[in-house]
Amino acid sequence: MNTELPADLLIQGATVMLPSGPTVTSVACRNGHIVAIGDEHFPAADTLDATGLHLLPGVVDSQVHFREPGMTHKETLEAGTRGAVLGGVTSIFEMPNTQPLTLSAEDIAAKQCIAAQQAWCNYAFYMGGSAANAEHLATLETLPGCSGVKVFMGSSFGDLLADDDAVLRRILQNGRRRVAVHAEDEARLRSRRHLAEEAGHVTAHPVWRDVDSALLATKRVVTLALEVSRPLHVLHVSTAEEMAFLQHHKALVSVEVLPQHLTLCAPECYERMGTLAQMNPPIREKRHQDALWKAIEVGVVDVVGSDHAPHTREEKKKAYPDSPSGMTGTQTLLPLMLDHVNARRLSLTRLVDLVCSGPARLFGMVGKGRIAVGYDADLTLVDMQARQAMDDRKLASKCGWSAYDGMVLQGWPVATVINGRIVMRDGEVLGRPAGQALQFLP
């Protein structure tokens, strides 16, 4: 690095979450990269006084559904990524259950084309894995801006499904990158749907989509992954039983949990919010939430993602179980987790591992996940003291609601720096969308 040239931006005085630990120091950024750490007098065109604040590596939300193309009344890449940067997120991985489904090079190119014009943060797209494209996945997963392959073992929203072992094996055999999986057992879900219909109330959601629906699928897909030595990422793990199983397979299998499952509990959330609390896999009873926190503490969990899955209020009003599953999350992911840090449920260092360095390491993101000279200048500045109520009116999401309206949280993002540019400051987005396609190790 040439340290003679002035920096574009110098962030001064923050407690910087360095790989070696939290340190009060300065970070200089030039041409989208970090060029110096520790020189508070580094010449710079622009400075940001961050005294009293914490500087994190840019937050990666590795599970969002932004609905474009096909369902732009629910969400768009523009609104979804604007919500992300307002929430301190600098990179997103977007899911393939759009319309059309993301199953081909053309499908992913169409998303890239929209994102290149409209994304506020950096982005990558998952390729859906199905019987139709299984034999092409080794090539498809290496397309530029592809975060890997995503498989739905159980129907959730949209038509993407790979529910039998023969198809799953074909998918897992074709390619080498980590495969992300939604693990709910389709046959069991079908055989139990009558329980939801008979109950007619969303309180039955975790009864219909019970512990065994999740556990069966997780065991099946982990067994197949071990058989063919394919790294796996089990998305939104929601049960104590899966955590007990997954802890024995950490060499090959990574684990994601969601703020929803860490924050909300059944049956209270269903009684209070009705179908707004409906998502897959379901929000469950306290004993499961306790097990997820324990799994964070002992290291079984690798990543926290948001599973941002917007549906309009009108759609959510359909009679259960015809009401769609999913809720917003990318803008609320970091405030919720910072509040959990302030409540001492996890340390800020552990959170950085879960939402910054963890996803970067697992998915082989080039230049992301740590504050270090030579890395990309994607940074999230947070105020651990700020107390504020969640306010649905501040959401960028086109669906306009969250499960947390009115909840008072301590710990908020105050600035988002992406590719060396301040893109969000004090709750306002700045400039215009300039997100870039993410790169991954070969």
Calculate the dihedral angle through the C-alpha atoms of 171, 174, 176, 181, rounding to the nearest 10 degrees: -10
Q: Is residue 325 involved in binding ligand DOR (CB under 6 A)?
A: yes
Residue pair 105/142 in contact (Cβ under 8 Å)? The answer is no
Residue 67 Cβ vs ligand DOR, minimum distance, rounded to whole Å: 8
Tell whether residue 81 is a contact of ligand DOR (CB under 6 A).
no
Nearest to 12 by CA among 43, 50, 45: 50
Q: Whose Cβ is closer to ligand DOR: residue 282's or residue 420's?
A: 282
Q: Given the complex with ligand DOR, which of 125 and 157 has the nearer CB atom?
A: 157
By CB under 6 A, residue 280 contacts ligand DOR = yes
Counting Cβ atoms within 10 Å, is residue 138 exposed (0-12), middle (13-18) or buried (19+)? Answer: middle
CA–CA dist 289, 245 (Å, integer): 16
* Smallest distance from ligand DOR to CB 335, Å: 21
Q: Which long-range contacts (CB under 8 A, 24 or more apart) does 421-424 make?
A: 421/8, 421/9, 422/9, 422/46, 422/48, 423/85, 423/120, 423/121, 424/85, 424/86, 424/88
Of residues 182 and 284, the one with the C-beta less far from ligand DOR: 182
* Nearest residue to ligand DOR on Cβ basis: 326
Using CB atoms within 10 Å of the CB of residue 201, give its burial: 0 to 12 exposed, 13 to 18 middle, 19+ buried: middle
Position 182 contacts ligand DOR (CB under 6 A): yes
Q: Is 166 exposed, middle or buried (0-12, 13-18, 19+ CB in 10 A)?
A: exposed
Is position 397 an interface residue for ligand DOR (rule: CB under 6 A)?
no
Binder to ligand DOR among 30, 33, 65, 150 (CB under 6 A)?
A: 65
CB of 264 to ligand DOR, least distance (A): 13
309 binds ligand DOR (CB under 6 A): yes
Separation of alpha carbons 289 and 295, rounded Å? 10
Binding mask 134-173 for ligand DOR (x = CB under 6 A): ----------------------xx----------------
List the x/- string, 95-134, binding to ligand DOR by CB under 6 A: --x-------------------------------------
Q: Check binding of 238 to ligand DOR (CB under 6 A).
A: no
Q: Which residues would be at the binding site for ligand DOR (CB under 6 A)?
A: 65, 97, 156-157, 182, 279-280, 309, 325-326
